[in-house]
Amino acid sequence: MKRAFLLGCVCLFGIAGFSQDDPVLMRINGRDVTRSEFEYGLKVHSRKTGTELPLKKYVDFFIVSQLKVEAAEEQGLDTAQTFRKHQESYRKELFETCLLGHRSLDNDMREMYRNLQKNALGEQVQLIQVCKYLPQTVTSRHLELARVRMDSIYGSIKKNPDIDFEDLVRQFSDDKRIRWIARLQETSEFEQVAFSLNKGEISSPFFTPQGIHLVKILDRKETLEYDAAHGRLIERWMRGKKGEEKIIARVEELKSENQFVRNSDGIDELLSKGRTEKELFIINGRSYSGRMFERFASSCPQSVKRQLERFICKSLLDDEKRRMTDKYPEMRYDLQNYTDSLLIDEVTRRIIDEPAMNDRAGLATYFKFHSSNYRWDIPRYKGAVLHCADKKTAKRAKKILKKAPFKEWQMLVQKAFNEDGAERIKLEQGTFSEGDNPYVDRLVFKKGDFAPIASHPFTVVVGKKKKGPDDYREVVDLVRKDYRIFLLASWEQELRTAAKVEINQEVLKTVNND
C-alpha cells in the first residue's frame, strides 16, 4: 500500500505547489474538502485500481471513505500506538523519497533489490501471533509479568496441540491480524524467528524491541514484491556509502535553499575549546546554539568536528522535514491518504471483518434468511458410512443414529461400539457429493461399486439426500463472504444516512478527471 502512494509523490524539489485558486468542493460533517484534495484522491484511486471510476461514483466512494475515517477517529484509533508507529514510519519514508529524488532513488533501490533477491530475499511467510506490545520505558516488573503470562499461554499450547490458536489471538493479542511478511519488513529479532519456522509451527515466546511474541506460521511462499521491501531497502541504502554521499550533497543544496548562515566565532570557539555558549549557525532565521549542540553530542560520541558536521546535517534535515507538508501540498495529501487507509482498514476490521468471521449468531441468522442462495445444483448426501464388524452391529447402529442429532453420531458410535478398545465400527461422516465416496456412490446414488473392508465387511449408510446445507457451518466460507458484504453495505448506508454532506456542484464541474 505504501508504494502506491509513494509512486504518486511528485513533490520533488523545484516543482510548484497547487494553485492559489483552490475552492471548497464539499463539506462533510462540517469539514471542508478542497478541490485539490479531492482531485489528488481521485488520481491515487485510479493509479491503485488501474481503472477510472466515473466521477459520480468516486464522489460517493470519497464521501464514504471520509466517514469511515471519522468513525475510526471516534473510536480513538488515530491515537493507538501501532497507528502512530506506522504513520511516523511512512512519514519518514516519504520524506526521504522526496528529499533525495524519487527517480534516482528508485533506480538505486531496484538495483539493491535485484542483488538481495539472489540471497533469499524473496521468501515470505504468512503468520498470526499472540503478542503484547511493551513500551521502551517498561519496568522490569511489567516485563516479567508479560513473560510469565506468555509462558502460561505457551504451556497451554504444549499441553493441548489441537488448541484453537486463533482463539488465543482473539483473547490475548495486541495484534489480531493474519498477514504476510517478507524479509526486511520486520526487526531482525522477529525475522530470525519467523523465517526459521515451518508451515504450521508455533514459536516459543521471544522478545523484540516492540514487545513479546508467540508466532504461528500459516503458510510460506518464495515470491517477494518490490513494494513490500521498499522501506527497509531505503534504510539499508541510506546507511551505505552511496546513500551517505547523496545525503551530503543534498544537505549542501539545503544550505542555499534554507538560508543557512554560519557564525564563525561560535564554530571556531567550539572547535578549539570543545564547547561554547555562542550561536553556531542560523537556518531560516532560527538560531542553533552551543547548548543545543551539547545535547546532540551527548548521544554521538565522535570527534567535535565530526559531531558538528552531523549536527548541522541533522538540523537542516529536521528543518526541511518540519516544513515539507506545508511546502509541498501533495506530500501532505499523500500522507493523509496513507493514514486514512490505515484507519479505514482497522475500523473495517473491527466493525466488519471480525464479526463476519466470528459472529456465530449473526452468521446463523444470515444463513437462515438466505438459505436458498446456498442450494446445490445436484443433491448431496448428508450422513455417515458405517463399516461394521457384523450384520447385528450394523442394524443396531442404524437404529441408534436415526434417533440422534447428526452432530452426536461420532460420540455415540464411540461410546456404544468402540469404547472398550475393540473397533466394531469404522465411521465416515459428512456431506458427500457424487464421486466423493465410493460407498455413498453405490448405496445412495446407485453408481459404481466398492470392495468391502475385510475386517468390517458389513457397510451401511445412515442419512438423507439434501438439496442444500442445513447449517451455515457446512458452507461457512461462502456464508462469511456474503455476510461480510451484507455488513459492509449496511454500515456504509448507516454512515450515509447519519452524515451531513454539502457539495458545490459548480466546483464539481471543474474537477480535473484526467
State the virtual CA torsion across 371, 374, 375, 380 in degrees, nearest 10: -110
In the predicted structure, residue 35 carries a pLDDT above the cut 90:
yes
Give dist(CA 421, CA 242) in Å, integer.
72
Helix axes 329-348, 81-100, angle to 10 degrees: 150
Report the pLDDT value the prediction gives residue 409, as an integer from 0 to 100. Answer: 93
Q: What pLDDT is stored for residue 16 in this prediction?
A: 33
State the average pLDDT over residues 112-127.
70
List, in order, residues 6 or more apart from 362 with CB less than 8 Å away.
355, 483
Q: Residues 413-438: what's their mean pLDDT?
A: 90
pLDDT digits (tens, 9 = 90+) for 67-99: 999 999 999 999 988 888 888 878 877 777 667
Compute the average pLDDT of residues 176-185.
82
Q: Residue 322 pLDDT > 70, yes or no? A: yes
Residue 301 carries which side chain, given as an amino acid letter?
P
> What is the per-residue DSSP string for 219-278?
EEE----HHHHHHHHHHHHHHSHHHHHHHHHHHHHHHHHTT-EE-HHHHHHHHHHS--SS
Contacts of residue 239, Cβ cutoff 8 Å, sequence gap at least 6: none
* Whether 133 contacts 211, CB under 8 Å: yes
Closest among 1, 264, 247, 219 to 126, alpha carbons compared: 219
Q: Per the structure block, which three cell numbers stand in for 86?
A: 506506522
Q: Confirm if 219 and 123 have CB atoms less than 8 A apart.
A: no
Q: What is the mean pLDDT of the chain?
A: 85
How high is the pLDDT of residue 117? 63
pLDDT recorded at residue 75: 93
For the chain, give the percent of residues with pLDDT over 70.
87
Write out the three cell numbers for 66: 471520509
DSSP strand pairing (279-283 vs 286-289) = antiparallel
Chain segment 356-406, per-residue pLDDT in tens: 988 999 999 999 999 999 999 999 999 999 999 999 999 999 999 998 999
pLDDT at residue 7 tops 60: no
d(CA 302, CA 296): 11
Please provide residue 382's backbone torsions phi and psi, each rounded to the nearest 5 degrees: -100, 115
pLDDT average, residue stretch 141-153: 87
Residues contacting residue 383 through CB under 8 Å, at least 6 positions apart: 429, 432, 440, 444, 461, 462, 463, 464
Confidence of residue 207 (pLDDT cuts 50, 70, 90): very high
**pLDDT > 90 in the chain, percent:** 46
Report yes or no: 334 and 2 within 8 Å, Cβ to Cβ: no
Q: Up-side HSE of residue 76: CA atoms within 13 Å toward CB?
A: 2
pLDDT of residue 68: 96
Would you say residue 278 has pLDDT above 80?
yes
Q: Is the per-residue pLDDT at 496 higher than 60?
A: yes
261-262 and 279-283 as β-strands: parallel, antiparallel, unpaired?
A: antiparallel
Q: Judge whether 404 and 412 are in contact, CB under 8 Å.
A: yes
